[in-house]
Amino acid sequence: MSARMRILSGLGEKGPACLRLEFFNRRWLLDCGVGPESDQGFDPAWLNKVNAVFITHDHIDHIGAADEIIAAGLPIYCTDVTARSLPKGANVIPLPPVGEIQVDGVTVTTGRTGHSFGGVWLHFEIGGGVLYSGDFCQESDYFLYDAPPDAATVLLDASYGMEGLTQNVRIDSLLTTMTKLGGQILFPVPPSGRAAEMALLFERNGLTDWSMDERCYGQVKQVLDARGSDYVDGDAIRRLRAVKDKAKHFNPDARLLLCHAPCATYGKARELIDGWRD
């Protein structure tokens, strides 16, 4: 069975992800993002003749237009964790963190991306195999990663570049830069992505004067429940549990601040920046 893929949004910029997969008489939308740095919004016309929507993870540039999907009455395939970030009224069909399901006679295989809590890549057994992943990371010591099956067509979110630098090199550069800066440092982060991971990085390097906002702590609580090990490394969970009480109470005077939202366009991160400007 042949397949055709069209990139509707996110090509050549740090823009929202939205792709369309077509085969036989089916049309599936893969991700439905808005923002975070692009003014491009979601075009409802992209839903024309769409039968279902698959969402890889809960970051705004992949899930931000979910309200349009719900208004159109379309089924949404995503993990249970990602479904928690959907607006009310969503018709959710759960995807496993690792495994496969049948959708309209097509085998859809999923695996963890190493990028976010609840995030998965998608492999469709059509056209020799079609693999789509939102953001992914093979180096995280926090999030779990699963190698996907072979595929004739592979589409990967590489909006942060493909320079070939290892994560350790980037971490060393970050830590060096931080030692040169005075005053407070704000890290605008998606709660399900970087917040807890960076808190543990700070702790590991003796940078204990950090704090995270309520949204980020909410994600910590999710990771520490019974299903956290579906996506997060067991040792990381143990280390996170050791700093739970510290993470619970936001201290705006801490030197290192982990705050929602990414790019500081809204949320506590935006609030702090506006306050500093005043």
Q: List the CATH number of the domain containing 119.
A: 3.60.15.10
In a domain, 146, yes or no: yes
Tens digit of each residue's pLDDT, the chain (278 residues): 789 999 999 887 777 899 999 999 999 999 999 976 656 789 999 999 999 999 999 999 999 999 999 999 999 999 999 999 999 999 999 999 999 999 999 999 999 999 999 999 999 999 999 999 999 999 999 999 999 999 999 999 886 677 788 999 999 999 999 999 999 999 999 888 789 999 999 999 999 999 999 999 999 999 998 789 999 999 999 999 999 999 999 999 999 999 999 888 889 999 999 999 87
Residues 182 and 242 in one domain: yes
The CB density around residue 170, as the number of other CB atoms within 10 Å, is 12
**How confident is the model at residue 192, as a pLDDT?**
87
Q: Is residue 161 part of a domain?
A: no
Residue identified by tokens 């705050």 is 259
pLDDT at 37: 64
Question: Are the C-beta atoms of 212 and 250 separated by less than 8 Å?
Answer: yes
Q: Examine the fold and report which residue of 156, 180, 203 is the final residue of a domain before the chain moves on.
A: 156
106 and 17 assigned to the same domain: yes
Instruction: Compute the distance between CA of residue 185 and CA of residue 210 in angstroms, rounded to an integer.
Output: 9
37 and 138 belong to one structural domain: yes
Q: CB neighbours (10 Å) of residue 46?
A: 18
Q: How many structural domains compose the chain?
A: 2
Distance (Å, whole) CA 134 – CA 189: 17
What's the pLDDT at 1?
Answer: 76
Same domain for 128 and 172? no
pTM above 0.85, yes or no: yes
Judge if 50 and 141 occupy the same domain.
yes
Domain boundary among 115, 134, 156: 156
Residues 16 and 122 in one domain: yes
Q: What is the DSSP letter of 148?
A: P
Phi-psi region of 150 (alpha: psi -120 to 50; beta: other; left: phi over 0): beta
d(CA 191, CA 82): 12
The helices-and-strands tally (H runs, E runs) of the chain is 9, 14
Do 130 and 52 lie in a common domain?
yes
Return the structure tokens found at 33: 């993002």
Evaluate the omega torsion of the peptide bond into residue 261 and state whether it is cis, within 30 degrees of 0.
Answer: yes
